[in-house]
Structure 1
Amino acid sequence: MSAGSTYERLLGESQSGGLESADGGGAPSPPDPERLITQLSDEISRLEEHLGADADPEARNLLIQGAQDALQEVADQGADARLDMEDVARLEAVVHSDGTRPVLFVEDDFFDVTAPAAANWAASLSRIQPELRTVCRAVGRVNDPQSLLGYQGTAWAIDDGVVVTNYHVLEAISTHPSRPDGSFGGELKPGVAVDFGAEVGGGPADRVFRIRRVLGVGRAGAPECAHPTVPRVNFDGLDLAVLELEPVRGRPFPTPVQVARGDDAATQGALASRGRSVYVVGFPGSAASTTPDVFAELFAGVVGVKRLTPGVLTEGRGEVDRDERSWIISHDASTLGGSSGSLVVDLEAEGRKVLGLHFAGVPDRVNWAHGLEGATPELAAVIPGW
Structure 2
Amino acid sequence: MATVNKQKSMNQEYIESLMNDIPVMSEISNKVKRYGGTVKSKQWGVVGDVIKDAVDNKDVDGVLTRPYTEAIIAEFGRPALLIQKDDFVVAESDEWNARLMPTRNLIRKAIKGVGRIELHGHPDFPWVGTGWHITEDVIVTNRHVAMEFGFSKGKQFVFKVNPDGDTIKAKVDFREEYRQSTSPLEYLIEKILYISKPGDKIPDVAFLKLKKSKYLPEPLNLKLKGIEKDDYVCTIGYPARDGRRNDESVMEKIFGDIYNVKRLQPGQIMMYSKSASNFIFHHDCSTLGGNSGSAIVDILSGQAVGLHFGGRFKQTNYAVKINTIIDLLKNIKKSYAVKSVSTSYNTVKEKVSSVTKRKTDPSGYIGSHLGSGFKVPLPDFRSYTLKNDVVELDKEHRTNRNKYELKYEHFSVVMSKSRRLPIFSACNINGSQWYKIPRKNDTWYIDNRIPSKYQIDNKLYKGNDLDRGHMTRREDPVWGATRSEASIANEDTFHYTNCCPQHKDLNQNKQTWQGLENYILDNARNMEFKVNVFTGPVFTDRDKIYRGVPIPKEFWKVIVIVTGKKLWATGYLLSQNNLLGDLGETVDFKYGRFKTFQVSIEHIEKKTRLNFKGLSKYDPLNKADEGFDIIELSDYSSIKFDRLI
Shared fold (TM-score, shorter chain, > 0.5): yes
- Pick the aligned partner of 1:373 from 313, 319, 323: 323
Task: State the Cα distance separating 1:10 from its structure 2 match.
Answer: 5.2
Tell me: CA distance 1:130–1:300, structure 2 relative to 1, closer, same or farther (3 Å).
Answer: closer
Is 1:214 paired with 2:214?
no
CA distance in 2, matches of 1:194, 1:366: 28
Q: Is the 8 A contact 1:330 1:368 kept in 2?
A: yes
Per the alignment, residue 73 of structure 2 pairs with: 95
Q: Secondary structure at the match of 2:72?
A: helix
Q: Is the 8 A contact 2:194 2:207 kept in 1?
A: yes
Task: State the Cα distance separating 1:330 from its structure 2 match.
Answer: 0.9
CA distance in 2, matches of 1:11, 1:272: 19
Q: Secondary structure at the match of 2:40?
A: helix
CA distance in 2, matches of 1:369, 1:80: 27
CA distance in 1, matches of 2:252, 2:127: 15
Is 1:190 paired with 2:168?
yes
Task: State the Cα distance separating 1:77 from its structure 2 match.
Answer: 11
Q: Residue type matched to 2:89 in 1?
A: D
Tell me: CA distance 1:345–1:169, structure 2 relative to 1, closer, same or farther (3 Å).
Answer: same
- Pick the aligned partner of 1:339 from 284, 291, 298: 291
CA distance in 2, matches of 1:36, 1:316: 37
- Matches for 1:12-51 after TM superposition, within 5 Å: 13=22, 14-17=24-27, 38-40=38-40
Q: Secondary structure at the match of 2:240?
A: coil
Per the alignment, residue 315 of structure 1 pairs with: 271
Task: State the Cα distance separating 1:135 from its structure 2 match.
Answer: 0.6
CA distance in 1, matches of 2:89, 2:141: 27
Task: State the Cα distance separating 1:379 from its structure 2 match.
Answer: 1.6
Per the alignment, residue 143 of structure 2 pairs with: 167
Q: Residue type matched to 1:105 in 2?
A: L
Q: Secondary structure at the match of 2:246?
A: coil
Give me the CA root mean square deviation.
3.8
Q: Is the 8 A contact 2:157 2:194 kept in 1?
A: yes
Is 1:109 paired with 2:82?
no
Structure 1 gap ranges (5+)? 19-28, 45-63, 222-233, 262-266
Task: State the Cα distance separating 1:356 from its structure 2 match.
Answer: 0.4
CA distance in 2, matches of 1:346, 1:179: 37
Deviates more, 1:238-247 or 1:124-133: 124-133
- Residues 243-273 of structure 1 show CA distances to partners (whole Å, capped at 9, x for unaligned) of 012346xx71111111234xxxxx3xxx221
Q: Residue type matched to 2:178 in 1?
A: V
- Residues 307-348 of structure 1 show CA distances to partners (whole Å, capped at 9, x for unaligned) of 0011111111347xxxx8221111111111111101111122
CA distance in 2, matches of 1:298, 1:364: 11
CA distance in 2, matches of 1:178, 1:35: 58
Tell me: CA distance 1:168–1:79, structure 2 relative to 1, closer, same or farther (3 Å).
Answer: same
- Residues 26-58 of structure 1 show CA distances to partners (whole Å, capped at 9, x for unaligned) of xxx9x969978642156x7xxxxxxxxxxxxxx
Bigger radius of gyration, 1 or 2? 2
- Residues 8-38 of structure 1 show CA distances to partners (whole Å, capped at 9, x for unaligned) of 33586443129xxxxxxxxxx9x96997864
Per the alignment, residue 126 of structure 1 pairs with: 101
Tell me: CA distance 1:77–1:16, structure 2 relative to 1, closer, same or farther (3 Å).
Answer: closer
Q: Residue type matched to 1:245 in 2?
A: L
Q: Residue type matched to 2:207 in 1?
A: V
Q: Is the 8 A contact 2:133 2:139 kept in 1?
A: yes
- Pick the aligned partner of 1:272 from 194, 209, 227: 227
CA distance in 1, matches of 2:267, 2:20: 16
Q: Is the 8 A contact 2:112 2:174 kept in 1?
A: yes
Q: Secondary structure at the match of 1:260?
A: coil
Per the alignment, residue 230 of structure 1 pairs with: none
CA distance in 2, matches of 1:330, 1:199: 27
Q: Residue type matched to 1:212 in 2?
A: E
Task: State the Cα distance separating 1:192 from its structure 2 match.
Answer: 2.3
Normalising by the residue count of structure 2, what TM-score does the alignment of the two structures yield?
0.43
Per the alignment, residue 306 of structure 2 pairs with: 356
Is 1:305 paired with 2:267?
no
Tell me: CA distance 1:325–1:17, structure 2 relative to 1, closer, same or farther (3 Å).
Answer: same
CA distance in 2, matches of 1:92, 1:178: 43
CA distance in 2, matches of 1:134, 1:196: 12
Q: Residue type matched to 1:197 in 2?
A: R
CA distance in 2, matches of 1:97, 1:353: 25
- Matches for 1:214-293 after TM superposition, within 5 Å: 214-221=192-199, 234=200, 236-247=201-212, 252-261=215-224, 267=225, 271-287=226-242, 290-292=245-247
CA distance in 1, matches of 2:270, 2:254: 30
Q: Is the 8 A contact 1:155 1:165 kept in 2?
A: yes
Tell me: CA distance 1:155–1:328, structure 2 relative to 1, closer, same or farther (3 Å).
Answer: same
Structure 2 gap ranges (5+)? 1-7, 162-166, 338-645
Tell me: CA distance 1:195–1:147, structure 2 relative to 1, closer, same or farther (3 Å).
Answer: farther
Per the alignment, residue 131 of structure 2 pairs with: 155
Q: Residue type matched to 1:239 in 2?
A: D
Normalising by the residue count of structure 1, what TM-score does the alignment of the two structures yield?
0.69
Tell me: CA distance 1:305–1:33, structure 2 relative to 1, closer, same or farther (3 Å).
Answer: farther
Q: How many residues align?
A: 318
Q: Residue type matched to 2:78 in 1?
A: R
Q: Secondary structure at the match of 1:333?
A: coil
Q: Residue type matched to 2:283 in 1?
A: H
Tell me: CA distance 1:180–1:71, structure 2 relative to 1, closer, same or farther (3 Å).
Answer: farther
Is 1:79 paired with 2:55?
no
- Residues 51-79 of structure 1 show CA distances to partners (whole Å, capped at 9, x for unaligned) of xxxxxxxxxxxxx26899x9699699943
Task: State the Cα distance separating 1:303 from its structure 2 match.
Answer: 1.6
Q: Is the 8 A contact 2:83 2:263 kept in 1?
A: yes
Q: Is the 8 A contact 1:6 1:92 kept in 2?
A: no
Q: Residue type matched to 1:256 in 2?
A: P
CA distance in 2, matches of 1:65, 1:378: 50
Larger RCO (alpha carbons 8 Å, 6+ apart): 1
Deviates more, 1:137-146 or 1:351-360: 137-146
CA distance in 1, matches of 2:53, 2:246: 19
Q: Residue type matched to 2:308 in 1?
A: H
* Identical amino acids, percent of aligned pairs: 26
Q: Secondary structure at the match of 2:110?
A: helix
